[in-house]
Amino acid sequence: MDYTIHFDDIFAEGKIPQKLCSGVIWAEGPVWLRESNAVLFSDVKGCKLYRWSEAEGLTIEKAYSHFSNGNYLDLNGNLISCEHGRRCISKTSPDGVTTILVDNFDGKRLNSPNDVVVKRDGSIWFTDPPYGILGNDEGFQAQSQIIGCHVYRFDPQTGDLDIMTTDVQRPNGLAFSPDEQTLYVADMSIVEFPTKGRREIRQFTVDEDGSLGKGETLCIVEPGIPDGFRVDIHGNIFCSCDEGIAVFTPTGEKLGLIPVPERVSNCTFGGEDQSYLFITATTSLYGIKLNTKGVQYAQTT
């Protein structure tokens, strides 16, 4: 995509995000709800799902969330969540009914699904690192039943679950390019493997049959590690790191850093025109108005 942007041009009203609410333990997985002008986000370690809106402030959406982490909306407006506690991908309908979509691969339990996106064809893509089963602070300690940590695709029409790539040591955040011809996946394995691990966003071409090509490094994310991220309509990547949101071009060039005073876990685009960036960071939810709009294919509810 032939697009050039200067970092200063990204911002509509200044470079410093506003703290919208605080008081959670580990904020994660923000998702925008257009019709209610609200953002949902998980408190993974607090085992709750919260809702924030300018009109009502912070309220509890789910008092017990099964240690949910990443969230997204499917094409029908259902909330798709990664649950560490039940080691599953769940679906919550607009009327509040929650069902488990998938919790195993060939009869072996998933590790602890972490982040999720929905493709325009309705397929659900998610990452499955072990963080929810390493201890009891954001899940339940258990032995892994699956060799490795993978990126999966779930087809809600057929019930098929497929491993799409094993070329990520500790997959976390993921997102598609605007044309869906590239899948980006965060690898934060440097935390567990200080000399052999990665702190990068890897990119995979999406072939015509839906399979993924060989992975390659798009960019190194520092300071800290990459966690969740989102992509704007021009293909620029807004990625979490220890000091805020690092912004990269589609070719991996770092444009700059949006500073946040707490360690950032994830972000999502929202607002009336998808140009407001919501940021989950440790105990708080932040927001900043941008000139660019975000890619949120399924988030139309």
227 tagged catalytic: yes
Is the dihedral angle over the CA atoms 125, 127, 133, 136 positive or is it negative?
A: negative
> How many Cβ atoms from other residues are within 10 Å of residue 46's Cβ?
18
Exactly one of 103, 227, 232, 273 is catalytic; name it. Answer: 227
Measured CA to CA, the distance from residue 215 to residue 185 in angstroms comes to 9
Binding residues for a divalent metal cation: 28, 172, 227
Q: Band of the pLDDT at 171, cuts 50, 70, 90?
A: very high
Taking only the tens place, the pLDDT of each residue in 100-135 is 999 999 999 999 999 999 999 999 999 999 999 999
Query: Class of 7-289 per CATH?
Result: mainly beta
Residue 300 has pLDDT above 50, yes or no: no
pTM: 0.95
Taking only the tens place, the pLDDT of each residue in 284-295 is 999 999 999 998
Binding residues: 28, 114, 137, 172, 227
What are the φ and ψ backbone dihedral angles of 139, each rounded to 5 degrees? 160, -150
Taking only the tens place, the pLDDT of each residue in 192-248 is 888 888 999 999 999 988 899 999 999 999 889 999 999 999 999 999 999 999 999
Q: Band of the pLDDT at 172, cuts 50, 70, 90?
A: very high
Binding residues for substrate: 114, 137
Q: By the 8 A CB rule, do 33 and 301 touch?
A: yes
pLDDT at 3: 53
Q: Which residues contact 64 (CB under 8 A, 6 or more apart)?
A: 47, 48
> How many Cβ atoms from other residues are within 10 Å of residue 42's Cβ?
33
